[in-house]
Amino acid sequence: MTTELPAPIDLLPHRPPFLLVDRLVELEPGERIVAEWTTTGEEYFYPGHFPGRPTLPGVLQVEALAQTGACAVLSNPDFAGRLPLFGGVDNVKFRRQVVPGETLRLEVTLDKLGRRAGKGTGRATVGDELACQANLLFVIVDP
């Protein structure tokens, strides 16, 4: 029996144009998640980053990982309706450019999840190639 996964917009408070997760692929609430984000080239940031050579900004790759991790947190009934906020980001590495039309596969494992804070490890890939990785620290607050 297959369970349908929630839509990111049903879990996250983010809304377009700042919702950076299209769909969830795998979900273990409060533990692990895999999601996807495909850019088209029509997004607001591409004309300025960079003219003639559109490239997905690295900071938005990290934000997409954070939003993916937030979906894992918020899908846990103990945290429904709360708000995970960035507390820090460490060991960020960018390994390849991401260009319009590519699908970013976003994987986050929550290494520690407490009542008020947590830590996670994120990887963003395009196909088999690593695009970005980061350690995420977040605090969980009431909205």
49: annotated active-site residue: yes
pTM for this entry: 0.96
Q: Where are the domains of the chain?
A: 8-141
Cα 14 from Cα 124, distance rounded (Å) = 19
Q: What is the mean pLDDT of residues 119-142?
A: 98
pLDDT tens-place string over residues 76-108: 999 999 999 999 999 999 999 999 999 999 999
Q: Count Cβ atoms within 10 A of the Cβ of residue 21 and give its class: 0-12 exposed, 13-18 middle, 19 or more buried.
A: buried
- Residue 2's pLDDT is 55
CA angle centred on 30, ends 24 and 32, rounded to 5°: 50
Asked if the model's pLDDT at residue 1 lies above 90, the reply is no
What is 8-141's CATH number?
Answer: 3.10.129.10
Catalytic residue among 49, 82, 96, 105: 49
pLDDT tens-place string over residues 54-65: 999 999 999 999
